[in-house]
A and B are shown apart, each in its own frame.
Chain A
């Protein structure tokens, strides 16, 4: 099984320091929860090897990520996905475009395939980022607030899309999110970060009994309008 793991991880970014030990994720999904500035994004970047860190990190060779603020190339949505598929998978131009077209359709962007990616709304860009990440067919998928600006009524279908891919491929999944629904839909385990340290770990099914003030706030919000 594909897995992501980190032990004795120590990351410094300016004045901020993140320390995580015994982190693990596989196809059952690990959610990373915590308030702004707790270190969720830093953890994801370090796990991917995109920022310098100390410690032992294990991840599959083929990883992909979708970020909250996706950066796009000065090209059409279709070209944005196709270029990445070509470069990351060594696919032919025709195969990459075919793959890109179906990936865009899966995230509901078929009508925007020809649109300049820079003109897409933030939510549409997030869909594009997801299409781009899935099109690479990774063995580990890192999602950082993947639906922060996506329409509420589109989120369930996108979560289902990710879930289906993960089940089909056995891809390891790490999701940093501020939505309880993401964790519940995609992950079996969760890690709660506060100020650069792990404050709690629990099964998502047992979140209600998790002794953490941030998780309590998430659950409280989810109870609306009780």
Chain B
């Protein structure tokens, strides 16, 4: 049980971190950049909100099939493949929510701070503080979607005991075997993880409030 929960947290944490590292700069570019391609990327993010994890999982599994285009990497049915699929599932959500939170502030704030003689570095720090709670919420939502999804984890991981079994796929299997007590146990741990993560996020947001 502990190993299963740990793998869930590890895969989703890594996927969320990678997605955030890609999505937040992309969101900054969408909000503050000049290129016309910004609208296309935002459309891609928005459309990606509805991506079924099982479809992403199927696509990633197909790509890593032994005879597939990336078969040489030998990643299928490994935590690496699960993580990659979750990055794709989570990235549009973090990106879209980050854009919303970056657009929320007063667009002239940076200019007004500059007009008061606040140096560039201090300005960036102040602006980062302004948007931090929104970005924390975006990352939290991404983590929640990642750890709760079952389709991509099943497709790319294969639910191999001791290797790629995570809380959601373990729950499905337990239900299939009629082991309802075990299934409820997994779900309880899943909820516990989300409560802890939400608590950490709230604490961070309060510190910046």
A positions within 8 Å CB-CB of B:
45, 48, 50, 62-65, 67, 69-74, 83-84, 87-89, 129, 132-133, 136, 138, 142
Question: How many interface residues does B have (CB within 8 Å)?
Answer: 19
Does B113 have its Cβ within 8 Å of any Cβ on chain A? yes
Query: Which residues of chain B (76-115) have a CB below 8 Å from chain A?
Result: 105-106, 108-109, 111-115
| Interface CB pairs A-B, < 8 A, 7 | A65-B112, A67-B108, A71-B109, A71-B111, A132-B116, A136-B116, A142-B115
Residue pair A50, B117 in contact (C-beta under 8 Å): no
* CB contact under 8 A between A84 and B115, given known A71-B106, A71-B108: no
Report which of B115, B129, B209 forms a contact with A50, defined as CB distance below 8 A: B115
A14–B151 Cα distance when bound, in Å, is 49
In the bound complex, residues from chain A placing their C-beta under 8 Å from that of B116 are 64-65, 84, 88, 132-133, 136
Contact with A along B112-148 (1 / 0, CB 8 A): 1111111100110010011000000000000000000
Residue pair B111, A84 in contact (C-beta under 8 Å): no
Most buried by A among B105, B114, B117, B119: B117
Most buried by B among A64, A70, A71, A142: A71
Residue pair A70, B112 in contact (C-beta under 8 Å): yes
* CB contact under 8 A between A73 and B115, given known A67-B108, A87-B122: no
Residue pair A63, B117 in contact (C-beta under 8 Å): yes
* CB contact under 8 A between A83 and B117, given known A50-B111, A67-B108: no
Residue pair B109, A73 in contact (C-beta under 8 Å): yes
A74–B208 Cα distance when bound, in Å, is 9
Residue pair A84, B118 in contact (C-beta under 8 Å): yes
A165–B122 Cα distance when bound, in Å, is 26
A87–B106 Cα distance when bound, in Å, is 20
Which chain A residue has the least Cβ–Cβ distance from B107? A71
Report which of B108, B109, B115, B126 forms a contact with A87, defined as CB distance below 8 A: B126
Which chain A residue has the least Cβ–Cβ distance from B119? A87
In the bound complex, residues from chain B placing their C-beta under 8 Å from that of A136 are 116-117
A74–B133 Cα distance when bound, in Å, is 11
Which chain B residue has the least Cβ–Cβ distance from A89? B117
Q: With A83-B126, A87-B118 given, can you name 8 additional A-B contacts, CB distance below 8 Å?
A: A45-B111, A48-B115, A64-B116, A65-B116, A70-B112, A71-B106, A87-B119, A87-B122
A87–B111 Cα distance when bound, in Å, is 15
Q: Separation in Å of the B206 CB from the closest CB of chain A? A: 12
In the bound complex, residues from chain B placing their C-beta under 8 Å from that of A83 are 126
In the bound complex, residues from chain A placing their C-beta under 8 Å from that of B112 are 65, 67, 70-71, 129
In the bound complex, residues from chain A placing their C-beta under 8 Å from that of B108 are 67, 69, 71
Which chain A residue has the least Cβ–Cβ distance from B109? A71
In the bound complex, residues from chain B placing their C-beta under 8 Å from that of A142 are 115
Which chain A residue has the least Cβ–Cβ distance from B110? A71
Q: Separation in Å of the B125 CB from the closest CB of chain A? A: 8
Most buried by A among B106, B111, B116, B119: B116
